[in-house]
Amino acid sequence: MLLAAVRALAKMSPSKRDAKANLLPPVTELRHVSYGVAVAVALQAQSEGLAEQTSREELEACIRLKMWTPVYRPYRRIADQEPTPVTERLFFQMVKANLLIMPNFDVFP
């Protein structure tokens, strides 16, 4: 299955079309590349008897349904505003709980 993944990735290499291009596809194509690799690995798993046999269409649909789709919430910048007591309290609670690591400036020359 690892070989199937590598071969699928190699098929999508920009350097196949242009010797001066990058070896790996750009990050902007990550979803497309991940999908292609997942399909190749799933087909290989089916051929090795490690996964249930389905049609290619069913397999591709299943992979599409399992793919995570990011949903970004809108945000507004508050860095230019004065901290409120709530944000200050939250900040210090995060530091205390080790959720926010503060750099130790004493170690820098």
What pLDDT digit, counting tens, does each position of 45-99 carry?
A: 999 999 999 999 999 999 999 998 888 777 766 666 666 666 677 777 777 776 6
Burial of 42 (0-12, 13-18, 19+ CB in 10 A): buried
Encoded tokens for 109: 């020359």
Looking at residue 64, what is its pLDDT? 94
Find, among 59, 65, 32, 36, the residue nearest to 46 by Cα: 59
At 53, list the tokens: 């046999």
User: Are 4 and 44 within 8 A, CB to CB?
Assistant: yes
**Is the separation of the CB atoms in 42 and 63 below 8 Å?**
yes
Tell me, what's the pLDDT at 94?
73
pLDDT digits (tens, 9 = 90+) for 5-16: 999 999 999 999
The most confident of 28-32, 35-39, 68-72, 73-77, by mean pLDDT: 35-39
